Homo-oligomer: A and B are copies of this chain.
Amino acid sequence: MSRWEPNARGRLERAALDLYGERGFEQTTVSEIAARAGLTERTFFRHFADKREVLFSGAGALQDLLVDAVASAPDSAAPIDVVAAALETAGTLFQERREYSLRRQGVIAANPELQERELIKLASLASALADSLHRRGDKDPAATLAAEAGIAVFRVAFQHWIEEANSRDFPQLIRESLYELKAVTAGR
């Protein structure tokens, strides 16, 4: 029945990213991804619902990480600082997988449908952050605004991080982007 394949998931992810980069997301089939990974289609579908899911399966773990970071922040911390600290924690993980992030972003930038999916993922992350702030007692509109502003800061820092050839530290870029937002909202 189900044969154990060492790191099947990682192999499928790598094969998918390779193929999406080589011939485009639209033009790649699940059967080709499985073949490139040296696995069966059946194994693919044990790990991913479809070929789009390969690019978005990390969203749940990212959300859990952000929600946990918010939950474990000191009670006295202001919402925006709680959100910023959570995003910096996530940023550290992104930094460790920069090559993956660059390639994934290249695939998404080339496909409007994937861009829409990415937007929806980021909006879900903002909602999850706001909910997590509510649970620690932060009220609206402060909680929602801190979460939404935090995701805006993250997006701007991410774009910067992806575009820069010299690969600056992502958590540092998040701090700088937050600093910029503070200057912007102060009307400077």
Q: How many interface residues does chain A have, given as a range?
A: 20 to 34
As a 0/1 sequence over residues 100 to 123 of chain A, the CB contacts with chain B under 8 angstroms (1 = contact) are 000000000000000010011001
Q: Which among A119, A148, A182, A186 has the greatest number of chain B C-beta atoms within 10 A? A: A148
- A149 CB contacts on chain B under 8 angstroms: 148-149, 152, 181, 184-185
Q: Are A141 and B123 in contact (CB under 8 A)?
A: no
Number of copies: 2
Q: Are A141 and B78 in contact (CB under 8 A)?
A: no
- A160 CB contacts on chain B under 8 angstroms: 141
How far in angstroms is the closest Cβ of chain B from A144?
6
Q: Are B116 and A184 in contact (CB under 8 A)?
A: no
As a 0/1 sequence over residues 154 to 188 of chain A, the CB contacts with chain B under 8 angstroms (1 = contact) are 01100010000000000000000100111111111
Cβ of A146 under 8 Å from chain B: yes
Q: Are A180 and B81 in contact (CB under 8 A)?
A: no
Given contacts A80-B187, A141-B160, A145-B180, 12 further A-B contacts (CB under 8 A): A116-B116, A119-B119, A119-B120, A141-B156, A142-B183, A145-B152, A146-B184, A148-B155, A149-B181, A181-B185, A182-B186, A185-B185
